[in-house]
Every structure is written in C-alpha cells, then in structure tokens.
Structure 1
Amino acid sequence: MRMGTLMEIGLLSGDNSSRYRELRVSGREGGTRTQRRYGSIYTLKLDPSTRTYCYEEEGYHTVSRSGHCAALLPTAGPHPGHQLLLFGGCNSVEPEVAGQWSHGKIKEEPPLAPRLMEQLARLVSSGQGLQQGPQSLRHHSCSVVGPFAVLFGGETLTRARDTICNDLYIYDTRKSPPLWLHFPCTDRTLKRVGHRTCLWNDQLYLVGGFGEDGKTASPQVCILELFV
C-alpha cells in the first residue's frame, strides 16, 4: 500500500476502472513485451479533502485482458446487490466479476433515462436480436442504462479482414442468469473502434474513435437511435 497525490499503479496494460471515490482498477501484468498470464485487480481509495489516495492489490486475479471495459450493474435473484463486470478484451464471451457487493453497500446515482430504458426493454422483448454475446471483442464502448449494459462497436479478433464493428450488444441483468442479445447494424459509417458512448439527456451519443479502416479518426458525434 502507498500514499500519494498522483495515481501510479505500476505497469498496467489495457487497464480500465470504475468511478468515483473508490475505484476498482483492472489491468494485466507487465509491459508491452511481457507475457500476460493474468489480470490484476487494484482498489484505489480517494480522499478529496486531503488530496491523497491509497491503493492495494486484491488477492485474486482475472483473465488477462486488453481493450476491455468495466460496468457496475445490479444483480437479480434472491440476493440482490451489485457486481463490477469486465467485458471483452479476451476470447471469452461471458463477462468476468471483478467485484461484488451486497444490497446497500453501493450507493449509486444512476442517470435518469426513462425513454432509453423503455426502448431497450422493448428491443430486448421484440425477438429481433440474436441470443449471443461478443466474442474476442476489444476497444469497444460500454454504457450502463439501468439494468442494461449496452456495448457498441470495437474490433473483433475472429476474422482477418473487416475487423472494425458496428454491432450493438445488450446485456440484460433483469433475470438470472442474465441474457445477451446481439443486433447487427447495416450502416458501415457507424463502424468505430477506440470510441465512447455517453449517456446524456436520455440518449446515447457515439463520440470519438477511429472509423472503418481503424486508422482515420472520426470527427462525428452521432446519436444511437434504437428502433423497434
């Protein structure tokens, strides 16, 4: 454990974190030329009043991941609570638990997005999606909208050409076990990698990243409209 005023967590490659006062950071061991056997989990605690922090490595490891994302989601079933899930960055389709808290331990203020939540619920129940999750996907985006994790775009390692994606994946946690749904997109101009989706004013905005060739930065800001 260390104390300091700057966040400095050794050599983490392809790391990702949750937010705000207490953060859980996930990254894999070593630098760019080191064999990656596993991913490490750190807990970082911030004290804004003193402008200090302390962090320590957790006693367990995750699968080695790069280009992944993290999402804090509610858990269904007889023992509700929250889980911090890691999506993508490896060959596995299913997310991995990087943290688990019982009911009342996590005090979150989820953004109000009633229209978008209703659209996602209708889209899930429409039967239009394929019941499959993303495999070998990295550098995608992930936004939490109520009980849904919405993943978009990224780079797939399952094919040699046309690797940049414009697919939409919804991870529905309302039931146990959670359900994956895949919605392919025909608009090639929405292919993105290294981008972000931002939830604002009850809409999902697609921001930044690189386009279809994976090299040209995209200056466009788009709204992801969900049609049922």
Structure 2
Amino acid sequence: MAGVAKTLAHTNQSADGPLVAFAAGCVIGDVVYLHGGVSKARSTEPCTNLYKYLASSRRWELVNSYGPSLSHHVCVSFGDNQIIFIGGWNGKQRTSDIHIYDATANEWNKCETTGFPIGAGLSSHTANLLSNGDILVIGREGSLRMQRRSGNAFILSGSVSKRRFEYKEYALGVASRSGHTTSSLRSSLLIVGGRSDHLLELHRISQKLFVETSTVAPSFQSVCAMTKPPCARKNHSATMVNDFCFVFGGETFDGRSKEPVSELYIIDCTQNFSWKYLGNIGVGRAGHVAFLFNNGILVHGGIGEKNQVSNLTFEISLTDFST
C-alpha cells in the first residue's frame, strides 16, 4: 500500500497554481475556490487574490485580486454560489471578521458581526457547516486564550442575504488547539492535532453536521491497524470520505522532522477510530489545502522542502483504494 500511495502523489501533477500557504478554500460543484494565504513562510503580509480550479481543465485561474487581505482563515460554502470566510490574520491582528464572496456576482462583502470576545481573534481555527445552516467554529487565538485551559467553540449564526452574523459560545469542552482539523461524521465531530498531546478527540454534536460523501467506497481490509497512533501534528489536512478520514502531512511536535512530513494515514471510523498507515507520499506539506474532489483528494500549496511555499497541485485517487 505504501508504494501505491507514493505513486498517487504524482497523479495529475501541476505547478501552475498560486504560490500560497495557509490559504482558505472550498468546493462548489466542480470548481475549487482558493483565497488569501501567504507567499513566503512566516510572512505577516497575507494575499488578497481569489483563484479557482476547474475540474475540466485542471488549471488555476485568477478570479479577482480585490478580496480581503487574510491568511490562516477558513471558509465554508453556502448554497451554490456563496462562500463564507471566517476570521484569520489580516496583516496586523487576528480577527473574527466575516466576509462573503458571491460567485455569481463576483462580489465581496464584509459582514456585520457581534458576540465575539473583545481582545481575541481567530487564526488556524476550523469551521464546519451544520445542517440547520449554522457554523461550528473551533479554536481561538489572542490574549484571552491564555486565561483558559480548554479550547473554545462557537456557533456562528446569521443571514447571508442580510450580511449579519452573531457568535455564541458553545459548551463543547474541547481541548485548546491551533492548526488542527475538524471532520464531520454524522452527528459527531472528529478533531485531529493542533497540540503536542491528545492527538484525537471525538465530540457528539446536538445539531447534525453537514456531511459530504463520495461515490467511491475505499476498502482498507488488507491494511492493519497501527498498535499506537502517529505522533502529534499540526497544519496537516484531514479529508473525510464516507467513514474514513485521510490525514496527510503537517508538522510534528516530536522534533524528529524539521520539515513538513509526507505520510498519509487514515482514521478508520468503522473500526473504533483506529489509525492505519497508507504510505509515504514523497511530498512533505504543511499549511496546504486538501479537498474531496472528483472521487479523489486534491492537494495544493503549503510549505514544503527547505521551508519554501509551493504552487504544486496533485491528486490522490481514491479508486486505487477501492475493491
């Protein structure tokens, strides 16, 4: 299986995309949208550009360059033409601002927001869309974060048409994390990484999460579960496919690797959330984006070898795992 994973890293490889790390993106239909990020490692000057990647041509196109200046932010798609961008670093501070991009009108709007704690902001957090249209936000950065032992969860609710949103704290009891990932599993939330211990958390959510599924059903019956999970990591990616969570790349906390790692794992949610090692992709990445796309996982950008930001796009085909 390790050899297969390494081959997959070079499927439909392209280096014509945006040179970015810590950008935010999502999929609407057969189009990937990607906004912001930084073009140099440790840069404090985020980009404003919005790009799209078309399934038909497998090429990136610049949509516009007048969006908000943000990195380390997140987004969710809403309906068939709206993208809600949440928080991030704006070049001066971490914010809790909400921006909406209308893909039909090619228009940006900054929203009115209330309810977020004064003196704190959002950076390297996560957002998951709930089935009722609210958004679950996990993570908080800023001066107030140091005063709490546990992490923070918020429900973001409001109106896309009125451009008005409100944050409300949500009692979830999550551990404090940054650079983590969150994945939807029916009525549960799978949280991975973002701290040096407690690699995995599972929380039951009262409101059902919006779950994306794939038409491909990967099979991992021949892959043995690991006797212990891998070391803790941050700034990795996690892509949920049916009952399997693909975890790729990131930076480790154990000091064994000074550069982003290139291992590909799955968390098998059908077998007591066991970890299984699929192989070494051969391309280390951190702060990249990964999407469920065309029955595969599309990976773009991030920080790679020698601390350089990448513009490489490649696909991991799920059909190679199916039986």
TM-score range, shorter chain: 0.7 to 0.9
- Provide the aligned length of Structure 1 versus Structure 2: 205
- Match among 104, 113, 125 for residue 15 of structure 1: 125
Q: 2:297 aligns to what?
A: 204
1:32-181 map, 5 Å = 34=146, 37-74=149-186, 82-101=187-206, 106=208, 108=210, 110-114=212-216, 117-118=217-218, 121=219, 124-127=220-223, 130-175=226-271, 177-181=272-276
Task: Give the conservation status (yes or no) of the 8 Å contact 1:169–1:180.
Answer: yes
Q: 2:66 aligns to what?
A: none
User: CA 1:52/1:69 → structure 2, altered by over 3 Å: closer, same or farther?
Assistant: same
Please list every run of 5 or more consecutive structure 2 residues that lacks an aligned counterpart in the other structure.
Answer: 1-109
Shift of 1:152: 0.2
Q: 1:221 aligns to what?
A: 313
Please list every run of 5 or more consecutive structure 1 residues that lacks an aligned counterpart in the other structure.
Answer: 75-81
User: CA 1:66/1:98 → structure 2, altered by over 3 Å: closer, same or farther?
Assistant: same
Shift of 1:178: 2.0
Deviations 1:19-74 (A, max 9, x none): 26211111145349946632111011132243322221123432111110111113
User: CA 1:14/1:23 → structure 2, altered by over 3 Å: closer, same or farther?
Assistant: same
> Which amino acid in 1 is paired with 2:291?
C
TM-score between both structures, scaled by the size of structure 1: 0.77
User: CA 1:7/1:207 → structure 2, altered by over 3 Å: closer, same or farther?
Assistant: farther
- Percent sequence identity is 27
User: CA 1:108/1:99 → structure 2, altered by over 3 Å: closer, same or farther?
Assistant: same
Shift of 1:94: 4.2
